[in-house]
A and B are shown apart, each in its own frame.
Chain A
Amino acid sequence: MREAIGVHVRGVSHNFAGANVIRHADVQLKPGGFLAIVGDSGGGKTTLLRLIGGLIAPSSGEIVFTAGGESDSQSDHAPRGQSALAAAQSNAISFCFQEGRLLPWRNVLQNVALPLELNGVSAQARLAAAREMLAKMQLSDSEHKMPAQLSGGMRMRVAMARALVTRPKLLLLDEPFGALDEVTRLALDEELRQLWQQTGTTAILVTHSIQEAVSLAQQVVVMRGKPGRTMPAIAIDLPKGAAHRTSMQFVSLCERVYEQMTQQMPPQATEVAGLAR
């Protein structure tokens, strides 16, 4: 196992096409932690995830990766976006997208081996690693199937296997199960939780499901408004697992998240918005 990395987002804003999409986002996550970002559509959740992954550069603020005291900063002063993207490109950060993004002309095994292949790993080594990952996820029987032959849930599991085959220090999940039916979704939530525990990676999950966020994460951050702002993180201190989704504690935490999503915005935030104009 590679050492997991922590993430520190400090006052990050992002403008796109002249519009302010994210304003002063703050997120803090320790190495090996699991953070969920919830909020309604258009609230900047995905944008924040892409900022953390280095796919886009923040307009202001900084994103810092921490690993045992060291920190790797991506700020106004450093060349923007470079360090995070470099981390993603060296396979330290992995993405898992809602659409799965499998290559339709490659079978399951070849799809899972793709990140290693593009990173120059030898055929023998990358196929061995891909097979090992497939075995861990009980996907070995499907290794010769094409993506078109798989159900939506299976496709997402293959996409997860591909994201984890590089043994990432940070796993970024963008609505991975958003298009799946409820039963499949619950099963994959549980599988993701176990994989996170086994691999020890740091994970950030973007989701619109409060239940999913509360049942998987150690802390939940609500993003809301236009431009999107982060609310203070809610710590989730619950026994994990599908069986606990009906406990009183679980329900009351879900209610707290829901309240944060729906209560009046703090007036100070709108003042800042007014001043900025």
Chain B
Amino acid sequence: MKNILRVALPPIFTAIALLVAWEIAVMVFKPAAYLLPSPLMILRAANVDSRQLLQATLSTAISAGLGFVIAAVVGMTCASVLSQSKFLQRGLYPLASLFQMVPLVAIAPLLVIWFGYGLSATVASAAIVAVFPVLANTLDGLRSTDPALRELFHIYNANRFTRWWKLELPSATPNIVTGLRIAAGLAVIGTVVGEFVSGYAGEDAPLGMVVLASMRGARTDLVFAAVALSAAVGFVLFGAVSFLGWLSLRKWHASTLIH
């Protein structure tokens, strides 16, 4: 408990101090509200439109969550297949790396053409950005299995599947967790980018749409609120993944020790 507080308190204090400084700065310099609203003004605006904002947050969270899960499953599966074949690895991995270089914003319109406006396009957008870190980190982990342990499994006459399931995958867990943590943050970014291009207005408009609509209406306070909420979605997803990673590694891996 003491350890957790020691880790959690400093950033919380820093955040509060920054918010207070922001509030005071707005009180002193009095910028126009559409340029820079103060934290309290943002809070009040968010409170007024709380129903719509919650709906939007839920919609974005669902899309980011689904995109993340798809990226995790596809990334780990592809990495596992690639790890079993040097031939496939040579043929496919460079292409996967190149594919990673294509800017998401540039292909987002394609996703709208293929998936139409709405949830499937934003989920696809989230999955596409999040899949590569999972793939790359998992493949790295699978390939860096201790050769001495590989030899042990060879002596025990383990087949390829058993070696993957009982040796390579567990030994790659730290890398997989790293990949998933990066993917969690990226999934939210992918979702909001997707929403900018393919989002839908109306009752259940997602956060990306709230940002766009509020910008057009010069409601900077609501832009800030939506930005903060999308960051919160990312934070929760990242936190959940980190916690699950910690659970699976805490018994044996050095990375789980709090220093």
Same assembly: yes
Q: B137-161: which have CB < 8 Å to A?
A: 148-149, 151-158
Q: Does B97 contact A (CB under 8 A)?
A: no
Q: Within 8 Å CB of A119, what residues of B?
A: 156-157
Known A-B contacts A55-B155, A95-B155; A118 and B162 likewise in contact (beta carbons under 8 Å):
yes
List residues of chain B with CB within 8 A of the CB of A53: 155
Cβ–Cβ contact A103 & B157, under 8 A: no
Q: A103-B167, A105-B170, A105-B173 are in contact. Are A118 and B252 (CB under 8 A)?
A: no
- With A97-B148, A99-B148 already in contact, the answer to whether A89 and B251 are too (CB < 8 A) is no
Residue of A nearest to B156 (CB): A118
Most chain B CB within 10 A, of A53, A97, A103, A147, is at: A103
Query: Taking the complex as formed, is A115 at the interface, i.e. its CB lies under 8 A from any CB of chain B?
Result: yes
In the complex, which residue of chain B has the Cβ closest to the Cβ of A118?
Answer: B156
Q: Which residues of B contact A95 (CB under 8 A)?
A: 152, 155
Chain B residue nearest to A97 (CB atoms) is B148
Segment 224-259 of B: residues with Cβ below 8 Å from A:
251-254
**Apart from A88-B155, A101-B149, A118-B162, 11 more pairs, CB < 8 Å:** A89-B155, A89-B156, A90-B157, A101-B148, A101-B152, A104-B252, A114-B156, A115-B156, A117-B166, A118-B158, A148-B254
Can you offer 29 A-B residue contacts whose CB atoms are under 8 A? A53-B155, A55-B151, A55-B154, A88-B155, A89-B155, A89-B157, A90-B157, A91-B156, A95-B152, A97-B148, A99-B148, A103-B167, A103-B170, A104-B252, A104-B253, A105-B170, A105-B171, A105-B173, A105-B251, A105-B252, A117-B166, A118-B156, A118-B157, A118-B162, A118-B166, A146-B251, A146-B252, A147-B252, A148-B254
B156 to chain A, nearest CB (A): 4
Interface residue count for B (Cβ, 8 Å)?
20
B residues in contact with A103, CB < 8 Å: 149, 167, 170
For this complex, into which size category does the number of interface residues on chain A fall?
Answer: 20 to 34
Interface centre among B153, B155, B167 (most CB of A within 10 A): B155
A275 to chain B, nearest CB (A): 35
Q: Measuring CB to CB, which residues of chain B are less than 8 angstroms from any residue of chain A?
A: 148-149, 151-158, 162, 166-167, 170-171, 173, 251-254
Query: Is the Cβ of B252 less than 8 Å from the Cβ of A148?
Result: yes
Q: Shortest beta-carbon distance, B46 to chain A, in Å? A: 45
Closest A residue to B162 by beta carbon equals A118
Q: How far is the CA of A118 from the CA of B167 in the complex (A)?
A: 11
Top 3 closest pairs, chain A to chain B, by CB: A89-B157, A118-B156, A105-B170
**Residues of chain B contacted by A55 (CB below 8 angstroms):** 151, 154-155
Least distance between B159 CB and chain A CB atoms (Å): 9
Give Cα A250–Cα B156 distance, bound, in whole angstroms: 38
The distance in angstroms between the C-alpha atoms of A114 and B148, with both chains bound, is 15
Q: With A and B bound together, what is the CA distance between A146 and B253 in angstroms?
A: 10
Which A residues touch B166, using CB under 8 A? 117-118
Note all chain A residues with C-beta closer than 8 A to B173.
105
Q: Which residues of B contact A89 (CB under 8 A)?
A: 155-157
Inter-chain contacts of B153 with A (CB < 8 A): 118
Taken together as a complex, chains A and B put the C-alpha atoms of A51 and B156 apart, in Å, by: 16
A115 to B170, CA, bound (A): 17
Query: Which chain A residues border B251 with CB–CB below 8 Å?
Result: 105, 146
A91 to chain B: which residues have CB within 8 Å? Answer: 156
Q: How many angstroms between the C-alpha atoms of A101 and B147 in the bound complex? A: 10
Q: Which residues of B contact A101 (CB under 8 A)?
A: 148-149, 152
Which residues of chain A are within 8 angstroms of B157 by Cβ–Cβ distance? Answer: 89-90, 118-119
